[in-house]
Amino acid sequence: MLSIIGQRRELISGLLVLLIGAGAVFQGLQYPVGTLSDIGPGMFPTGIGVLLALVGMAITAAGFQTRDKDDGSSIDWRGWICIIAGTLAFAVLGIYGGLVIATFALVFISAMGDRNNSALQAAALAAAMVVVSIVVFWWALQLQMPLFTWG
């Protein structure tokens, strides 16, 4: 059974992502792109635009696949609430707790939005993402956010 609601949602969202990608490519080509050995200012927005357009095409194509059990018409409020709460927790704890505590809270709370995750799985994922965020943002990119802070 083909889900009209799910198909329409995926079709619209896929076309929107495709349109945003095409716009990024158009804007990126307004600047010199350069070569791979001498990258110009238009290379990054053009590359991201191409990737967005490809993702948009994939989402649009997925809208035409058949669905067996879920018609996509119900909203998963638990997921929405957990993702929003995780983002708010990161904003507050980033100021008052530092990168480690804020990242752990963000990932843990957001992971609890998935009904298949247990608290232990969410904590393991959050701990792994804390390590990744320390390496990427604090060490490699030298983000000016303390690892720990109190107040």
**The pLDDT of residue 147 is above 70:** yes
- The rounded distance, in Å, linking the Cα atoms of 135 and 104 is 14
User: What residue has token string 């957990």?
Assistant: 82
Q: What is the b/e burial string over 114-151, where b = at least 16 CB atoms within 10 angstroms of the residue's CB?
A: eeebeeeebbebbeebbeebbeeebeeeeeebeeebee
Mean pLDDT of the chain: 87
**The pLDDT of residue 2 is above 50:** no
**The pLDDT of residue 14 is above 60:** yes
Q: Residue 81's pLDDT is what?
A: 94
Give per-residue pLDDT as tens, 52-108: 999 999 988 887 775 555 555 567 788 889 999 999 999 999 999 999 999 999 999
Q: What percent of the chain has pLDDT over 90?
A: 61
